[in-house]
Amino acid sequence: MKEFRTTVASPVGLHARPASLFSRSAKESGCVVKLAKVNQGQQSEFVDGSSILRVMTLGVKCGDEIIVQVEGENEEAAANALQLLAESNEH
């Protein structure tokens, strides 16, 4: 399993289009992807990163820290792609 922490850079956080891109990438990776939000040092429960609705329910805003867990055959490549998406501010 590959796990990373990163800060979301999109001006709208993981809402609408960025959440859609994230969940689609998670689904297409073929890996199990879980996502949690860190708020004041406390992490939320992990949600299914391939579900746009689950991703949006976390309420991740620009500047929020997230933890992503990726498990599967292509976990290294999937984790790198998801980290780039989360850190991109071009959505």
Give exposure, 17-45, as e/b (b: 16+ Cβ within 10 Å): ebbebbbebbeebebbbbbbbeeeeeebe
Task: State which residues form the domain around 10.
Answer: 2-87
Q: Tell whether the model's pLDDT for residue 25 goes beyond 80.
A: yes
Active-site residues: which are they?
15
Q: What is the pLDDT of residues 29-76, one digit of tens each?
A: 999 999 999 999 899 999 999 999 999 999 999 999 999 999 999 999
**How many domains would you assign to the chain?**
1
- Say what the pTM is: 0.94
Q: Is the pLDDT of residue 91 over 80?
A: no
Distance spanning both ends of the chain, measured CA to CA: 28
Q: How are beta strands 65-71 and 32-39 bridged, if at all?
A: antiparallel
Residues 74 and 76: their CA atoms lie apart, in Å, by 6
What span, in angstroms and rounded, lies between the C-alpha atoms of 13 and 71?
24
Q: For position 8, which CATH number holds?
A: 3.30.1340.10
